[in-house]
Amino acid sequence: MVDFKELIADSILSEELGLTKEEIMNMIEIPADEKMGDYAFPCFRLAKALRKAPQLIAADIAAKAGDAEAFAKVENVNAYVNFFIDRAFFAGEVIDEVERRGADYGKSDGGAGRKVIVEYSSPNIAKPFHIGHIRSTVIGNALYKLYDAVGFDVVRINHLGDYGTQFGKMIVAYRKWGSEEELAKEPIKALLGYYTKFHEEAKEHPELEDEARETFVKLEAGEPAELELWEKFRTLSLEEFTRVYDMLGITFDSYAGESFYSDKMPRFIQELKDKGLLIESQGAQIVDLEPYGLGAAMITKSDGSSLYVTRDIAAAVYRKEHYDFYKCIYVVASQQNLHFKQWKKVLQLMGYEWEKDCIHVPFGLVSLSDGDDIKMMSTREGRVVFLEDVLNTAVAKTAEIMRDKDAQGVDIEEVSKEVGIGAVIFQELSNNKIKDYVFSWDKVLNFDGETGPYVQYTHARASSVLRRAQDAGADVENLGSIDTAYLGSDSAYTLAKLIYRVPEVVIEAAEKYEPSIVTRHLVDIAQSFNKFYHDEHILVDDEAERNAKLALVKASKTVIANCLGLLGIAAPERM
């Protein structure tokens, strides 16, 4: 497809200007007011070198640059050269490219030959997979899809929280109050109950905390009885988690959690000692980061057991040695900002220059619309909102809405899953990731607002137009040569421009680790398509006009489906 900035640069390029093609392309702007053209080239910086007024330079450039087929007109306004793209030419370029690339439209190969790791979701085993986990899960999955779309070889890692003193508590609680039968019936709810009871009892019997710490030390040492229970809890938890991941359509390449690195940590503890970085503090081993304003990074507790920083050092070095990553992206809540700053500083002090390629992608918190802040949920006290329950509620509410609307010819059971779960994902990804937001059912399942159901309905509407055209005798799969002169209206041109921008939007979203850039652009496309749908009579008698408009509908449908796919959301044909 034509790169219009490059085309403009070619039309401007001359020895007289003293600019390279790349410099010209970087100077080209998109005017805020469409009346000033589709692209503009400012001439202010040329005035000194050419010893001429900017508006005179602009007039000279405009006079020489107006011959290209792609330009409807080129004119100068003061110090700017304004380029108006020929609408028919533009529509033809966009439609041809979408038709040619199909499901690959929006993808590029800038990352070819380089590996990116995305670590996301990472729930704690033996604890509920609750609504608070959804942000890491769906943001991380979208980043995987975005980096895959721009050509990187992406490895998806679910760094399970399957180690630490909490498992000493869980084992102690199960031995004191648990039962095999209860565990088999509802594993996670049973384990949550045991964990809650442990903390209730520990208030009256603080010696339980010591027993839990001793139990975890045994687990780290590989005691068979502790290992057997830990493996049971881990297996049961993964089975529960997998059911939720299946609902979300999410898979991973690795479930190597914290425990995977337990035998790799001694190497790095020794390395920290050898490099003079470890200091003893009240029996614990720390790295003093006070000179950097980061406090103290604890490496081992006084009982010798490991901590997050230690395990994350081992994980990072293993990943670099094993995968030789270009980037290792960690999708973890902003609450862990200090941890990541400490950990990266320790890696830097150890001499690992690639620590700069370890990227923490923080995100804000989600709260419930009734004011029950998710961050206030406590696993210890048993107050949680299970993510599976949220997804099932979304599906049930969507099915109810669809029945009320009396959707004809729709598989309500299947589509309500696609729309309900898609609505929850879209809500998560429509907000800038760093912002806190309020989860609201009314907003999530709104078919008219800037929501997932609205975008999915737009895709279904485009599909319906194409089906009706097919039923009326149009060969939708092969529309033949398109007369794009019929696509010169404002609504058609605006839609075509939004479709044209999709590849650069995908690249921008990946570079900024911000899926909401795609989500917002997708809403713009849906709104623009619906305006085109309402403004234009598409299924007209004139075959040339009908086929031209159908070609734009078809391109829109493809692009909406592609963008929804990048967010991990289905694109229903009927709603």
Q: How far, in Å, CA of 207 to CA of 205, rounded? A: 5
- Beta sheet of 80-85, edge-to-edge order: 39-42, 80-85, 71-77
For residue 137, give Cα distances in angstroms to 140, 374, 425, 437, 469.
Answer: 5, 16, 10, 16, 40
Contacts of 438 (CB under 8 A, 6+ apart): 366, 367, 368, 369
Strand (E) or helix (H) holding 117: strand 115-119
Among the listed residues 350, 260, 353, the one whose alpha carbon sits nearest the alpha carbon of residue 306: 260
**Long-range contacts of 557-561, Cβ-Cβ distance < 8 Å, separation of 24 or more:** 557/459, 557/462, 557/463, 557/466, 558/98, 558/102, 558/103, 558/105, 559/98, 559/105, 559/106, 559/499, 559/502, 559/525, 560/455, 560/458, 560/459, 560/462, 560/522, 560/525, 560/526, 560/529, 561/103, 561/459
Tokens at 45, concatenated: 């910086």
3-state secondary structure of 435: coil
Q: How far from each other are the two terminal CA atoms of the chain, in whole angstroms?
A: 33
Which residues, including other chains, have CB under 8 Å from residue 77's CB and lie 6 or more apart? 36, 58
85's enclosing H/E stretch is strand 80-85
Total Cβ atoms within 10 A of residue 527: 17
Q: Which of 552, 549, 529, 528 is nearest to 537 (CA)?
A: 549
Do 535 and 472 touch, CB atoms closer than 8 A? no
Active-site residue set:
127, 130, 133
